[in-house]
Structure 1
Amino acid sequence: MSDPSASGRGAPAAADQQSGGAVQTAAPTRTTSTRWNLSPAVVAALLVALLCLGAGFVAGRVELAMVGVPLLIAAAFGWDRRPGERIQLSFSVHADAAASTAPAQGATAPAQGASVLAAGSVTTPATVDALGVRIALPNRAPLDAVVTERTAADIATHIVVGHSGPQRLLQLGARAIGADAAFVGDTADGPSLDRVVRPRIVQIRSLPLPAHLIGLTGPHPSARPGDGGEFRDVDRFQPGDRLRRIDWKATARRAQNAGELFVRRTMATSDASVQFVIDSRDDLTARVADWAALHPLPGVSSQDLAREAVGSLAGAYVAAGDMVGFDDLADPARAVPPRAGARHLHRVRRAVELTAPRGAATERVRAPVLAPGALVYVMSTFLDEQPLRLALVWRAAGHRVIAVDVLPARLTRDLPARERLALRVVELERALRFRRLAAAGIDVLVWQDADASGLPTGARDARLRELSRPRRAR
């Protein structure tokens, strides 16, 4: 009967690697059986008609009884035209790739900040005179419309993808209306348009490294002797040294005895093992008044920043030839061990895209086991003690740990005085946790939203350069 659709134009993606791909058809056609119910208007008409007839009979007033006669006739006429016992509604929902950004291989959803052209349709039998259509949209009031065969038309609205991760973009529902609205059907929920939206990928110019590189080969110079690295020193030939490393000039200059040889030694190269840990137990936006709201206003949340940070840093490390892994504090079963390569990067990013708050917060009994000498990124809002405790355990085990604060900049203009005081207490607790991290030798990186061009903010880029500088061993 109708084709309610939602369409819009979104902001373009910041870079090719963050662009979303073609959106597939969400769900096949779904048929739902509902039953007819007497309309509340007809019930009210019957009650008023009976009341008027009774009052007219008792009071002996004919004109009062005549008021209820038309209502009684209308109710009887509607009952005579009642439809069958049940009705079949056929639903279909699909999404079009026309409104998404440039396609990428294997993509299933648009990038964060793009728009989607979604459409839904409901097929009804001939016994239905009208249809009440409801389109539930994220973070907005539902869109309601009543359409008939003559007035059926497209219903346009914008669906802007403001968050990354798993989310519901559209929910279609309908309610059948019989002849003269005397009978209405139960509200039938149609299929939903569920998508996993890719996080935005930003450019990373500087990459911190672990304190000790223990890999056998890779792009980074290590502190042990080997092949392929920077110059270390010139020393006497020892059993096991390769003949091609003999430095004949140094031998001619420094040899004191016959047969004495000198070799040129270099530093070995190694790769880094990086582990990303996301604390997905909470998801908070910048507006503090919405922290306890069931449906917060649209805005960048802490989970959006965490997914963006992991996706961007993991891509940069894999491009440099390092190994990356992933772990979720809220779901230990979704851990991904560290590996290298583009295929493994896709696996890690897919695990990050599926990260979402899952029910009540739980405590990890023991810290996840990491590769020896790994660099650990802990993405959290640090509103409780669990990420702090795990970071201290990893630091005590000899890992280099970087605590990434993904809590957006707070907006407090709508808070009353009492809630401002509570926020002040929360901020003081966070400051104490960051002070304990710094005292244990853990670096802190504040990850805020990128600018309009998709590049990191100046403060974050400068902090990454500072963390990437070589450090002297204590």
Structure 2
Amino acid sequence: MKTKWWPTSGMAVTMVLAVVIFLLGMLTGRLQGVALAVVLLLGCGWIQLRHPHASGTVRLTTRSGTTSESRVGATVSWQPAAGVDALRLRTTAPGHRSVDTVVAAPRPSTSSGPSTSSGSEERRIPISIRTARTGRRPIFTVDHQERYGAGLYTSAGDTAGPMSITVLPKATPLREVPLPYRLSGLTGPHDSRRAGDGNDLRDINLFTPGDRLRRIDWRVTARRNGPGPGTSGPAITDLYVRRTHATADAAVMLVLDSRDEVGPDLTTWNDSSSIPEDVPTSLDNARAAALTMARRYLQAGDRVGLEDLGRMHRPVPPSGGQRQLQRLSMRIALAEPEGEPRARNRPPRMPSGALIVVFSTFLDNETWHLAQLWHGAGHRVLAVDVLPEPDLRNAPRRLVTAYRIIAMERHDRLTALARSGVEVIDWTATGDRPVQVTLAALTRKRVRR
């Protein structure tokens, strides 16, 4: 591919130095200096006449566009043009300083195998970065320039990337999770309050049409039937059966508030693209929390769905199985703010009797209002606070004052939710009451089923 090549400042410095040495050699009568200057000028002229007129190709690739690892990587593949000496790379990532690298061109291949048109082998340079962020991330951007003649000539610069890599959130193990007020379905992993086929004993009652013979309790039948006339043994006139509680499953709807994304640094609240890769944001916490809850309920045999408040799309209906977990993982990872959030004329419709888990920062009244509406409709609602702890040390005074006002309004919303019956969970809490302890306490709370 043809491109423009330019002499660098090193070429100008070399030529000026050669002229100065030549003049000093002539004035002092030293032929060594004159010869050295002539060699430098001839070398610069040779480089200028013989410099390449084409450039190689630089590609930025990755093994997979989706990963769940904390360290993500890519590969810079360089196919140099003929005569090119080196490649200068400048790799940048959001929130990190750039890294400059000079890569020497590979020697021409002398093997009998297939060779490229330029006669040089392809050079591959691996790059990687550790990230705490999730979702679709434009992580790597590579600026590159080819060099010739010990860096005296360089090609016009070009850029490869940015490369988008989808980083899936990681789910942490949970032991206990709350259940909805009312279980649904004819079978499942949980014991309901209605009679049916299950494990836990409900009562012992008289045999009625429709009861199965294998449910007859012969010990109770023999004990409650008296001996018959003229016989030594009891006459069985009534049969008694053991009735159990039926099993059922839970319907869970995860409501992900992806309308905003904020980090601990207050100066980045207006621009989330400047947040470093090693600092998780509120949306990263929400993605990890949603996937953690989804995996826990799906492993228990329940049905889980997803509603994204940041998009006016159809929700993922509740379902179970490994395929549903994969579907939810991708939908959760791709949830991100899309411009200015649009107001909803009516709340999203939820399945009857479902447990609703809302993941939000509660910085406005939208999710607060929806949580109260769903709770008023008879759903059990969990409000999961995913706002990271803000860092006020380097923030300007005006931002600190503004944040204190926002924090007071947010505290009032969460307090109003707790008073109305919505159970509030701080997902980023540590210390004496982490999120596992809070979920265990809500699990043991007696609710109607």
The TM tier, using the shorter chain, reads: 0.7 to 0.9
User: 1:39–1:367: structure 2 CA closer, same or farther, 3 Å change rule?
Assistant: farther
Per-residue CA deviation, residues 338-390 of structure 1 (Å, 9 max, x unaligned), is 11112221221222222223333223333222222111111111111111122
**Cα offset, 1:40, TM superposition:** 9.2
Q: Is structure 2 residue 112 aligned with structure 1 residue 137?
A: no
Matched, 1:295 2:263: no
Partner of 2:77: 121
Q: Specify which of 87, 107, 111 is matched with residue 69 of structure 2.
A: 111
Query: What is the Cα deviation at residue 318 of structure 1?
Result: 1.4
Identity, in percent, stands at 35
Which residue in the other structure is 1:383 paired with? 363
Partner SS state of residue 139, structure 2: strand
CA RMSD of aligned residues (A): 3.9
Please tell me whether residue 89 in structure 1 is matched to residue 69 in structure 2.
no
Whether 1:209 and 2:176 are equivalent positions in the alignment is no
Show the 5 A alignment for 1:258-407.
259-293=237-271, 294-297=273-276, 298-333=278-313, 335-407=315-387
Choose from 421, 429, 441 the match for 1:466. 441
Are the structure 2 counterparts of residues 280 and 34 from structure 1 closer, same or farther at C-alpha, using a change threshold of 3 Å?
Answer: farther
Please list the CA deviations of residues 404-460 of structure 1 after superposition, one character each: whole Å capped at 9, or x if unmatched: 111112221112322221111111111111122123211011111789xxxxx8521
Q: Which moved more, 1:400-409 or 1:234-243?
A: 234-243
What is the alpha-carbon distance in structure 2 between the residues aligned to residue 472 and residue 223 of structure 1?
11
| CA shift in 2, pair 1:156/1:124, >3 Å | closer
TM-score, length of structure 1 as denominator length: 0.72
1 CA distance for matches of 2:125 and 2:196?
A: 68
Given candidates 179, 190, 200, the residue that maps to 1:230 is: 200
Deviation at 1:38, TM superposition (A): 6.3
Task: Specify the code of the residue in structure 2 equivalent to 1:310.
Answer: A
Q: What is the one-letter code of the residue matched to 2:76?
A: G
Cα deviations by residue, 1:105-144 (Å, 9 ceiling, x for unpaired) = x9942423xx345431333424756644322223212333
- How many residue pairs align between the two structures? 399
Check whether the contact 1:378–1:402 (CA below 8 A) recurs between aligned residues.
Answer: yes
Contact 1:34 1:185 in 2 (8 A): no
Per the alignment, do residues 213 and 147 of structure 1 end up closer, same or farther by CA in structure 2, a change over 3 Å counting? closer
Q: Which residue does the alignment assign to 2:131? A: 161
Secondary structure of 2:434's counterpart equals helix
Instruction: State the SS of the aligned residue for 2:247.
Output: strand
Specify which of 390, 399, 422 is matched with residue 410 of structure 1. Answer: 390
Gap change, CA 1:289 and 1:463, over 3 Å in 2: same
Letter of the 1:167 counterpart: R
2:257 partner letter? D
Partner Cα separation in structure 2 for residue 219 and residue 346 of structure 1: 21
More displaced stretch, 231-240 vs 408-417: 231-240
Secondary structure in 2 matching 1:425: helix
Q: Answer whether contact 2:133 2:284 (CA < 8 A) is retained.
A: yes
Residue 209 of structure 1, CA deviation: 0.4
Larger radius of gyration: 2
**Take 1:82 and 1:433, find their aligned partners in 2: how far apart are those partners?**
72
**AA aligned opposite 1:274:** V
Q: For the Cα contact (< 8 Å) 1:78–1:182, is it kept in 2?
A: no
Q: Distance in 1 between matches of 2:141 and 2:2?
A: 18
Contact 1:382 / 1:388 at 8 angstroms: preserved in 2? yes
Mark the CA change 1:236 to 1:379 in structure 2 (over 3 Å): closer, same or farther. Answer: same
Question: Which amino acid in 1 is paired with 2:274?
Answer: H
> How many Å separate the matches in 2 of 1:199 and 1:149?
39
Residue type at the aligned position of 2:60: V
Closer/same/farther in 2, CA of residues 239 and 121 from structure 1, 3 Å limit:
closer
Aligned AA (2:248): S
Aligned-partner Cα distance in 2 for 1:39–1:281:
50
Give the AA of the match of 2:437.
A
- The one-letter amino acid of 2:4's match is W
Using the alignment, how far apart are the partners of 2:297 and 2:397 within structure 1? 45
d(CA) in 1 for partners of 2:311 and 2:340?
12
What is the letter of the counterpart of residue 435 of structure 2? R
- Matched with 1:36 is 4
C-alpha distance in 1, partners of 2:86/2:310?
47
Unaligned runs of 5+ in 1: 1-32, 46-72, 97-105, 452-456
CA distance in 2: counterparts of 1:240 and 1:192, whole angstroms: 67
Kindly state the Cα deviation for residue 258 of structure 1 after the two structures are TM-superposed. 8.2
Among candidates 389, 394, 405, match of residue 425 of structure 1: 405
In the TM superposition, residue 466 of structure 1 has moved relative to its aligned partner by 0.8
C-alpha displacement of 1:157: 6.8
Deviation of the 1:278 alpha carbon:
0.9
Aligned amino acid, residue 426 of structure 2: V
Structure 2 letter corresponding to 1:468? T
CA distance in 1, matches of 2:195, 2:174: 30
Cα deviation per residue 1:217-271 (whole Å; 9 max; x = unaligned)?
Answer: 0111111111114222223333333333333444455569984443332211111
Give me the whole-angstrom Cα distance separating, in 2, the residues matched to 1:465 and 1:150: 60
Q: Is the 8 A contact 1:81 1:179 kept in 2?
A: no
Q: How far apart are the structure 2 equivalents of 1:124 and 1:270? A: 64
Is 2:166 aligned against 1:196? yes
